[in-house]
Amino acid sequence: MSEKFDVIVVGAGPAGTSCAYTAAKNGLKVLLIERGEFPGAKNVMGGILYRKQMEDIIPEFWKEAPLERPVVEQRFWFLDKESMVTTSYKGLEWGKEPFNNFTVLRAKFDKWFADKAVEQGALLINETVVTECIVEDGKVVGVRTDRPDGDVYADVVVLADGVNSLLAKKLGFHKEWKPNEVALTVMEVMKMPKGSINERFNVEENQGVSVEIFGDATKGALGTAFLYTNKDSINIGVGTTLSGMIKKKMKPHQLLEDLKTHPMIKPYIEGAESLEYLAHLIPEGGYDSIPKLVGDGVMVIGDAAQLVNAIHREGSNMAMASGKMAAETILKAKDLGEFSERNLDSYRTDLYDSFIGKDLKKYRDAAHTFEEHPQYFEQYVPLMNRAMNTMFTVDGTPKWDKQKKIMNSFTAGRGKLGVAKDLYRAWKAVK
């Protein structure tokens, strides 16, 4: 493998494949390196793929991509021990072209997507680990792989090696992530007949539901659980910051089991058959955890660059958009004839100017606020549940008295000022 490429992309997930596809389509000689048996073999997400950023790369991809269901309803459940407060939005416009987002199974989707990059001319090599970047005179000139004689050279190396981001770390672009910068998430794919899914989630064929679950699902720790409908299976999972998992001494698979047997969840998955168990980290450090993104001959994209909006569970879309932006920058640098940090820097500025930079900035304090002040998940979710119970249980108590009881229950723990502060702090963190 001594030939030289224009671009080497490390990792065939949504970010890497988007970059490889865009670069190859525009005539660059691209090598896409994947460590798994096939693209997708190592890749995990809850399961939501966004239409917009995928469409920007392959128009009308939904006509041929292996998708599960277009999501027509997004539900939010605030869980207590034996109750929940819920809210949702259902819109049939999301079930029609151009759609909003889809549930997908990544092992199928990523494989298909990487094949599309190959169709555009990218060379895909599976079962190959990149162990380090080859650096000469401060410039990245290629990668070292675990294959015999495995050095490969290129004008630009794009690091799309996922959340662990070992290669960017080795280059000194970031330090090891801290336990509060990643979320440990486990999930199961469970087989369920189409008809049961449609009945239980109140949808028709080819309509999907996403459910985000807060509160008791994570025992009050900062995190969420989820339930996503595939064609004839469902994804059920739960995750918290690794720091939260450690602090509360929780076993992730036990958390998942508690979720599956929770009285509010159990009826939805009754009789389903477990097909696969998966664990993965999600980069949730947000804006302030974004590492150095560009160096001489090198760029970092996707999860490796911490591009995840945890509040809106967006990640795959940011991965794709960042991959495309990186490829476009490489094309411009090619015209300039040099792949210096300066010539590649427009990737960084484009990214920060886009919805990625702006959304991550908007929520830069959110995760830290909710982690440092656990009352939001630990106290307010149960309080919301009890308030609903008090208001709607008909027991002869006048409504004024009920209202007073609810107000008192909210201020009993933290005082009026405490509640006011909590409200202000939460608003400030997401405004």
Partner 1 sequence: MAKTLEEKQYLVRFNCDTKSHLEVRDHDVCATKCPDKDCTIFCPADVYKWEGDRMFVGFEGCHECGSCRIGCPFDNIKWEYPKGGHGIVFRLA
Contact letters for partner 1, residues 17-36 (x by CB under 8 A): ------------------xx
Q: How far is the CB of 251 from partner 1 (least distance, A)?
A: 6
Distance between start and end Cα atoms, the chain:
51
Nearer to partner 1, 279 or 388 (CB): 279
Q: At what angle do helices 316-336 and 355-362 cross, to 10 degrees?
A: 130
Residue 311 CB neighbours (<10 A):
18
Could you tell me how many residues of this chain bind partner 1 (CB under 8 A)? 58
Q: Which is nearer to partner 1, 280 or 324 (CB)?
A: 280
Among 14, 16, 47, 285, binds partner 1 (CB under 8 A): 47
How many C-beta neighbours within 10 Å does residue 373 have?
A: 17
Applying the rule CB under 8 A, the residues between 101 and 130 that interact with partner 1 are 105-108, 126-129
Beta strands per DSSP E along 285-354: 294-295, 298-300
188 forms part of the interface with partner 1 (CB under 8 A): yes
| Separation CA 324–CA 107 (nearest Å) | 21
Q: Would you call the peptide bond into 291 cis, given omega within 30 degrees of 0 as the criterion?
A: no
Output 250 or 333, the one with its CB closest to partner 1.
Answer: 250
Is 190 a binder of partner 1 (CB under 8 A)? yes
Provide φ and ψ at 393, rounded to 5°: -85, 120
Residue with tokens 């190859």: 24
Whole-number Å distance between alpha carbons of 282 and 290: 13
DSSP state of 309: B
Of residues 246-265, which lie at the interface with partner 1 (CB under 8 A)?
Answer: 246, 249-253, 257, 260
69 binds partner 1 per the rule CB under 8 A: no
Rounded least distance, CB 292 to partner 1, Å = 19
User: Shortest distance, CB of residue 245 to partner 1, whole angstroms?
Assistant: 5
Work out whether 278 is an interface residue with partner 1 (CB under 8 A): yes
Tokens 């979710």, residue?
Answer: 381
Residues found near partner 1 in the complex (CB under 8 A): 35-37, 40-45, 47, 105-108, 126-129, 145-147, 163-164, 166, 176-179, 182, 184, 186-190, 233, 235, 242, 245-246, 249-253, 257, 260, 269, 272-281
